[in-house]
Each structure stands twice: as structure tokens, then as C-alpha cells.
Amino acid sequence: MDVNTMTLSDYIEIVKRRKWSLIIPFCVIFIITALVAQLLPSIFKSTATILIEEQEISEEFVKAPVTSYAEQRIQIINQRIMSSVRLLEIIKEYELYSNYKGKWTTEEIVEKMREDTLLEPISTEVVDPKTGRPGSATIAFTLSYQGKETPQKIYQVANVLTTFFLDENLTVRAQQTEEASQFMEDEMKKVKKEMGLVESKIAEFKERHVNELPEMLTMNIQGLDGIERRIDQMNEQLRSEKEQEGYLQAQLVMVSPELKDKDRLADLKVSLAYLTSRYTDEYPDVIKAKAEIAELEKQIQETKKDSKNAGEAATNPAYVTLSSQLSSTQAEIKSIKKQIDDLEERAEDYQARIEAAPRVEESYKVLTSERDNMQYKYNDLMQKMMEARVSQGLEKEQKGERFTLIDPPRLPEEPYSPNRLAIILIGFVMGIGVGVGVLALKEFSDNSIRSPEALTRLTSFPVLSCVPEFITPAQEIFQKRKLKLSIAGSIAFLVLCILAFHFFVMDLDIFWAKLMRKTVI
């Protein structure tokens, strides 16, 4: 058949002639898609919206110990909630996925519930107040659960998951703040114990080097300077005493140790005897002689007492006095020498302290540096522990960053899936397309000539006459029977499709889920 020369009337004639080739495929496809749309199980979905609120108190005053980003914390909490233990408890409590039992393993059922639980963040463009740059921030997220169960079960499961999520967030934050506070406290105890050991070492070191410590260096230098000045003074005093000793020794050589008063006394007694023989006791010369005799006797007695220490030979008072001064000077010289020896010994001690000071200072600095580092670490841990305790109180009062349920799960009133109207429309379009395809296939595979014009175009000869189609009663009966058989076959095919859908299509999602999971793995 020449397609290029066909007109609109030819197409209309083809449709009239092969209407059943168009109607039957269209009806079959449309009825099948309509049945699939009606028989597919309804999937209900319940969604909760949770808002991420920042902490009420500025971070400049109270810094929360939870340092992870909201997106990261959401995923961590989601993994905890999606654990096999918790999901199995929910599945058993609400008798979920009962049609999968015996066909799937427990792990596959749990994985199916994970797939049916959807967590979707809600982000928006915000400006960072610190840098002033625009960026994307998660301000909320939705938690949904969908399934083929009843709307009541879907709502209950979504509500349970939302409650788990909110409670887990509070538990995680409280646990993190408590662990941070406990960790800081334990570290403080360790550092304090180490500080005690270092302090003991420092005390023992100070006890062993009490006079050689760096803070004693100035005192040691001053002490050494004072001793050296004292030694100089004592040396000067020693020289003076030695000069005095030499002078006394020279004077002592010039003075005789013997006294001449006894001779004078004897002369005075002879003179007194002569005077008394001639004069009376009131005579002035007699009185004067008696007085001189008494004075000389008194001096002789005193000289005897003083000469007992200097020896019996020394009877001269001047000699005794010089001897006494010389002995005192020599004793003073001896005392000064002993003092100088003591001072020199002390100076050597101070000098040893000063020389040992650098070595002691190096060891002492190591100990004090270790002690200072421990003290700094202790103070830092103390500050952090106080911050952790404040943060712990912040979490208890729920003043920190928190998840707020702004849109709780609702009881689904209509199925979320499948979209039956879309399936029916697709079936309608597919039915028309298949019908047109079958019609075109039959028409263009038929080489019959059905009009005088087509015969004229093919042979280039004019058609002289047309013989109308003559249908015998037997042919008419055959055509009617053929139509009935086609209709019956179509109905039988529809029934088989319904039965197949009833027995196999209900498990199609199970097969498809398994196939997709294995493909991903």
C-alpha cells in the first residue's frame, strides 16, 4: 500500500475497517492498568517536622560542650534510633510487615523499615554573623514513616520514632555534658596528684639545697661581701694590735723589773731615827719622813700583790703594767686571728654556695617549670570543669540547642502512594498507543488493494468496473464467530492477568526491593 498517496479519508477508512484491532488492545491495556491501579496496596505516610533551635544564652557566657554540627548530630541520632534492636521492638509491638514474614529474613525486614523511615533536612540560605558570608544552614528536618499498614499504625509508628528522636537528642546532649564534666574532674584529680608529687620533690630539693637556691644567691653574695669586709677590718685591727705589741715590747725592754723603793725606805728609816733622836714627833721633818715611809710601804705592798701574776722577780709597777698590757695585746691578737680563720671558713662556705647556685638553679627550674605547667593545666581544667557544669545545668534546664517539634505526626487520611489517577492516565495513553500500533502493523503488513484509485495508481490503467464484495451467510457466521472468539480471548486474558496480579503482583515490591538491594551491594 502506498503510504505517500493516502488521504484523511483513507485513514478514516482504515480505522473503520480495523476498529477491533484498535479497540481490543486499548481495552485490554486500559483495563489492566485500571485494575493494577485499584489493586495496588495503598501506602500511607505520616510526617513530623522538627525545628533546630539555638541555645537561649549566648555562647560568650556559656559554651556548650556539644561541638558537633546539627547535621552530624542528626545523623548520629538517626543511626542510634535505626539500630536493629529498636526497630525489631517496634516491628513486634505493632506487628509490622506481617506479609513479609516467612519470605524475608529478619535483617531484610529491618532494612525495609529503615528504607521506609525517611529523614530529610530543611536548609535555608543564611548569613554568617562572624564572617558575613552567605551559606546554607539546616534549620529543621522532617522525620517520616511510610508503609502499607493501616493509617493508625503508620501514625503510631511515626509518633514513636519522633519521640525516640527527641528523647535521644536530650539523652545524647545530657550524656555528653555529663561525660565532659566527669572527664574534667578525673583529669583534675590526676593533675592534682601529680602536682603533689612534684611539690614533694621541690620540698625535698629545697631541704637538701636550702642555702643554694636561686632566691638565696643575692643573700649569699651580700653575706660574702660582708664577711670579706669584716676580714679586712679584722686584718686592719690585727695590724694595729701587732704594732701595739711591738711598741709594748720595746717599752718593756727599757723598764727594769726590779724596784728601788726598799733602799729608799731604809734610807728614810735611818733619817727618821736620826731626826727623832734630836727632835720631837711634831717636828716637820719628822712628820714628813714618817709620811714618806708610810707611802713607800703602801706602794711596796701594792706592788707585791700585782707582781704575783707577773712573777716574783718583777717588782717594778711600771714593768708590771707594761707586761700586763703586752699580755692583753697578745691575747687580742690571738682572738683576732681565730675570728679571721672563722670568717675565712664562712667565706669559703658562701663561695661554695655561689658556685653551686647555677647547677642548683637549673635543676630547680626544671622542677618549678614542671610545677607551673601542672598548675596551669590544673587551673585550665578547673575552668573547663566549671564551664562543663554550667553547660550541664544548661542542658538540664533545656536552655541549650534543642529540637522542637513544631509539626507532630498526623493520622494520614489519604494514601501517599500509588497515584492511581496517574496510573490510569498512563494506561489510557499506553492503550491508545498499543491499539494504534497493532492497527498500523496489521494494515501495513496487508498488501491487498481496496480501492479503484489505488489500483489505477499501481497499474497506470483505468478501472472499467468494480465488483462489490459478496459475503455469503457462511462467511458472515464465520466473521461473527471470529469476533466472539477475539472478545472471549481478550476476556480470558484479562482474567489471567487479574489472577496473576492477585498471586504474583502483590509480592512484586518484595522482589523489586530485594533486587535493588542486591544491585546496590
For residue 124, what is the domain's CATH number? Answer: 3.30.1890
pLDDT at 48: 92
Are 285 and 315 contained in the same domain?
yes
Helix (H, G, I), strand (E, B) or coil at 148: coil
Place of cell 554550667: 390
Helix (H, G, I), strand (E, B) or coil at 132: coil
Q: Is the pLDDT of residue 155 over 60?
A: yes
pLDDT in tens, 292-307: 778 777 776 766 565 5
pLDDT in tens, 79-113: 888 888 888 998 898 888 888 887 888 888 888 88
Q: Give pTM, 2 decimals.
A: 0.52
Mention every residue, 6+ apart, whose C-beta is less than 8 A from residue 296. Answer: 261, 264, 265, 268
Is 510 contained in some domain?
Answer: yes
pLDDT at 159: 92
Structural domain count of the chain: 3
Boundary residue ending a domain (346, 373, 407)? 407
Place of cell 491508545: 432
Q: Which of 182, 212, 206 is nearest to 388 (CA)?
A: 182
Burial degree of 492 (CB within 10 A; 0-12, 13-18, 19+): exposed
Are 347 and 420 contained in the same domain?
no
Is 196 contained in some domain?
Answer: no
Q: Mark out the alpha helices in 279-316 (DSSP H runs).
A: 284-310
Q: How far is CA 329 from CA 153, 253, 314, 336, in A?
A: 122, 16, 19, 10
What is the DSSP secondary structure assignment for residue 216, as one 8-state letter? G
% pLDDT > 70, the chain: 73
Domain extent, residue 56, equals 44-185+390-407
Are 55 and 175 contained in the same domain?
yes
Place of cell 629545697: 206
pLDDT in tens, 328-346: 888 888 888 899 889 888 8
Q: Mark out the alpha helices in 18-83 (DSSP H runs).
A: 19-39, 70-81
Is 371 contained in some domain?
Answer: no
pLDDT in tens, 228-254: 898 899 899 889 888 888 887 777 666
Are 60 and 14 contained in the same domain?
no
Q: Is the pLDDT of residue 148 over 60?
A: yes
Boundary residue ending a domain (374, 407, 440)? 407
pLDDT tier for residue 70 given thresholds of 50, 70 and 90: low
Is 197 contained in some domain?
Answer: no
Helices 284-310 and 261-278, axial angle in degrees (round to 10): 160
pLDDT in tens, 389-438: 666 665 555 555 677 788 889 898 888 877 888 888 888 898 888 888 88
Q: Is the pLDDT of residue 63 over 70?
A: no
Q: Is the pLDDT of residue 49 over 60?
A: yes
